[in-house]
Amino acid sequence: MTLYADATDPVGHAVRLVLAEKDINVEIQFVNHETKPEDLNDLNPYHEILTLIDRDLVLYDPQIMLEYLDERYPHPPLMPVDPVSRANNRQLRYRVTRDLYAAVDDIVGDDAAAASNARRVIRDNLMAIAPIFSRHTYFLTEEYSLVECCFAPLLWRLDHYGIKLTPQAKPLMRYADQLFAREAFRTCLSPFEKTLHR
């Protein structure tokens, strides 16, 4: 199995975290748009970097990668067993991706006004959900799951993105510290990510 990923990409970080949680033997190739191999364009029809290759299977959607890895390597399980909980898990990951990760592109872009607005969007969303973490160990549940694998890379990058939370976010930051303390989280960090901790 081979994963092509950008060392700075939080979505790729989520995939690497699942690989680490499951202790999957994988070759990780860190590349960027200047250094990616030419044949990666043939494998990924969107010409994006994040690509997982497992024998004859080529995956380029991160959420499909996460679920494939969880099903192909079932221990430890990172998805609930029952259909309702599985649907809720997918919905939470969709919201993290749509509401939070969608704003990251603006933060790292060249438009200062768009970046400022994106920081506010992420901050406001995080502040709105912070109280949840005083009632649950994880995101609306008591079990570590793919939701945490998606959420942790963004939380790790808050300082890097210039996002400041108020003291009312303490339950969220306790949750974040709990995620960061996991061995798999520490072992999956790229050299770039190791420089980011708050």
pTM: 0.94
CATH 3.20.190.10 matches 2-77+188-194 = no
Q: Which candidate, 142, 138, 3, places its Cα nearest to that of 68?
A: 3
Rounded Cα distance, 186 and 184, in Å: 5
Buried b (16+ CB within 10 A) or exposed e, 124-146: eebeebbeebeeeebbebebbbb
- Edge to edge, the sheet with strand 27-30 lists 27-30, 2-5, 51-54, 57-59
Q: Give the pLDDT of residue 57.
A: 97
Q: Which candidate, 135, 105, 107, 122, places its Cα nearest to that of 165?
A: 122
From first to last of the 198 residues of the chain, give the pLDDT tens digit. Answer: 999 999 999 999 999 999 999 999 999 999 999 999 999 989 999 999 999 999 999 999 999 999 999 999 999 999 999 999 999 999 999 999 999 998 998 999 899 999 999 999 999 999 999 999 999 999 999 999 999 999 999 999 999 999 999 999 999 999 999 999 999 999 999 999 999 975
User: Which residue matches tokens 């060392």?
Assistant: 7
Report CA dihedral (116, 118, 121, 124) to the nearest 10 degrees. -50
The CA-CA-CA angle for residues 12, 16, 20, to 5°, reads 170
Helices (H), the chain: 10-21, 38-43, 62-72, 83-95, 102-107, 112-129, 146-156, 170-180, 183-187, 191-194
CATH of domain 83-182: 1.20.1050.10
Q: Which candidate, 50, 88, 54, 55, places its Cα nearest to that of 68?
A: 54
Q: Give the pLDDT of residue 197.
A: 74
Q: Which candidate, 7, 1, 4, places its Cα nearest to that of 24?
A: 1
Contact present, 23 and 48 (Cβ < 8 Å): no
Check for a shared fold between 2-77+188-194 and 83-182.
Answer: no
Domain assignments of the chain as residue spans, ordered by start: 2-77+188-194, 83-182
